[in-house]
Amino acid sequence: MGLLLRRAARATSQPAVWLGLPLVLDALIAAGIVIGHSFKLTELLAAGPLLACARCNGRLTALATVYAIALCAIVAPFGGPTRATLEAYRIGAVLLAGILAVLVAVIRTRRESALIRISDRVQRAILRPMPAELGGVAFASHYQSATTQALVGGDLYDITMTQFGPRFIIGDVKGKGLDAVGRCAAVLAAFRELVFAEPDLVKLAEQLDARLSRDMEIEDFVTVILAEFAPGEVRVVNCGHHPPVKQAAGSPGLQIMAPPAFVPPLGLHPHPARQDIALNPGDRLLFYTDGLVETRDRAGRFFALDSHVAAALTASGPALAASGPARPDLDGAVRRVVRLLLEHAAGSIPDDVLLVMCEPVAPAPCR
C-alpha cells in the first residue's frame, strides 16, 4: 500500500479516532483550571482545535473549536474574581485560534484530496487494465491497497501481445511513496520498450537490469517475474520474486513453481535461467506480490498457500451459452483468495497486494 498518501487516507478514513485526542486534551486542561482555580490557563484550551487541524477535516476541527469555547464558558466561574473584559479577551483568543485551525484543516484536507486523486490517476495510467483474454490465455487480477484511498504503491504488472506470444511482467519495487511510483513507471516503460525486440526472455531480463541500474541507487532493486505464454506451457524468468503457484487440473494441492536457484532482483545484476512450466487447459497459475504471503494474522502467522487457497482456485465458473465453451471463473477465484486473505488479516492488510491469475482457454469446438 506511499507513506504520505497512507497518512492522508488514515486521517480521512478514521476522523473520530483523531478527534478524540484533542477533546480529551481540552477536558484535562479544563479540569486543571477547575481544580487549580486558575482562569489564567484558559488560553491553553486553544490546544484542542490546533491539534485537531493536523489530522481532522474542517467540520471536525470546527466541532473541536465549539467544544473548547463551551469549556471556556464552563470554567469561567471557577476562575475567581476577574475582569469581564479580560475573560472576553481570553475566550476570544481561543475562538481566534479555533478559526485559524479550521482554515488550516480545510486547506490541508483539500490538498490531500487533490494528492489522492492525482495518485489514483497516476496508478491507473501506469497500471493498464488486465485483458480478460489474450493469446488463448484467460486472465484475472486484483489490486488490494493497504488503505482505502491511497492507491499508489510499489506493485506493478503489465501484459502485451508480441510476435513471440503474450508476454507478462509482475514485480515489486523497493521503497514507498512517490519514489516507488517513479520506479514502477521506469520499470514498465523499459519493459514496454524492450519486450518486442528481444526474443530471448533471459536476455530481456538482463537488458531490463542494465537499463534500470543506470538510474538506481546502490541499495535499490526490483523483484520481477517475466513470463511468456506458448501453447501448453509458460516460460518464466524469476529475478528475486515470490514464485507463482500452480493448480493443476484434477490435483487437490498447489505446486510452488520455485526456480532452480535463487536469482537476485533487477538492480543487483542478476543472471537468471529460464523455467518452463507446463500449462494446459484446466491448469491455473497464480502470480502475486509479497503482500499476499507476508500478511500476518493476530497471532503473527503468515498467510499460507494451503488447501484453502487450492480450493478457492479450483472452483469453476458456469458455462456460457450452448454455442460457446465453458469459461474459467478466474475473477471469482481471485475474489475468493482475497476473501481468505482478509479473513486471515481480520480485515486489515498492512501492505499492497497484487494477484494475477491465468488459465489457458480451450478452443471452441468446430462446427
Q: Which of 22-26, 57-61, 116-120 has the lowest mean pLDDT?
A: 116-120
Give the span between the Cα atoms of 339 and 311, in whole angstroms: 13
pLDDT in tens, 343-355: 998 877 878 889 9
For the full predicted model, state whether its pTM sits above 0.85.
no
pLDDT over threshold 80, residue 334: yes
Q: Could you tell me if residue 314 is left (phi over 0), alpha (psi between -120 and 50 degrees) or otherwise beta?
A: alpha
The CATH number that domain 127-360 falls under is 3.60.40.10
The model's confidence at residue 165, banded by pLDDT at 50, 70 and 90, is: very high
Question: Regarding predicted confidence, which is higher, 87 or 4?
Answer: 87
Residue 246 φ/ψ region, left for φ over 0, alpha for ψ in the -120 to 50 degree band, beta for the rest: beta
The contacts of residue 251 (CB under 8 Å, 6+ apart) are none
- N- to C-terminal Cα separation, the chain: 49
- Grid cell, residue 289, equals 506480490
The H or E element that residue 48 is part of is helix 47-52
Q: Which three cell numbers stand for residue 39?
A: 482562569
What is the rounded CA–CA span in Å between residue 309 and residue 289? Answer: 15
Q: pLDDT at position 336, please? A: 93
To the nearest whole number, what is the mean pLDDT of the chain?
83
Confidence of residue 174 (pLDDT cuts 50, 70, 90): confident
Q: Please say whether the beta carbons of 182 and 120 come within 8 A.
A: no
pLDDT at residue 80, as a whole number: 54
| Lowest-pLDDT range of 25-39, 58-72, 317-331, 345-359 | 317-331
Going by pLDDT thresholds of 50, 70 and 90, the confidence category of residue 215 is confident
How sure is the predictor about 273, in pLDDT bands with cuts at 50, 70 and 90?
very high
Q: What is the pLDDT of residue 350?
A: 78
Q: For residues 196 and 214, is the Cβ–Cβ distance under 8 A?
A: no
Q: pLDDT: is 217 or 285 the higher one?
A: 285
pLDDT tier, 11 (very low <50, low <70, confident <90, very high otherwise) = very low
Mean pLDDT of 212-234: 91
Is residue 2 predicted with pLDDT exceeding 70?
A: no
230-249: average pLDDT: 95
Cell numbers of 348, please?
Answer: 486489515
Selection from 333, 320, 329 nearest residue 364 by Cα: 320
Gap between the Cα atoms of 328 and 314, Å rounded: 10
CA angle 124, 128, 133 (to 5 degrees): 145
Q: How far is CA 112 from CA 73, 101, 108, 363, in A?
A: 35, 16, 6, 49
Cα 60 vs. chain centroid, distance in angstroms? 27
- Range of weakest confidence among 9-18, 28-37, 168-177: 9-18
| Domain coordinates in residue numbering, the chain | 3-122, 127-360
Candidate ranges 66-80, 324-338, 344-358; pick with highest mean pLDDT? 344-358
More confident residue, 3 or 103: 103
- Closest Cα to residue 269, out of 332, 216, 196, 310? 216
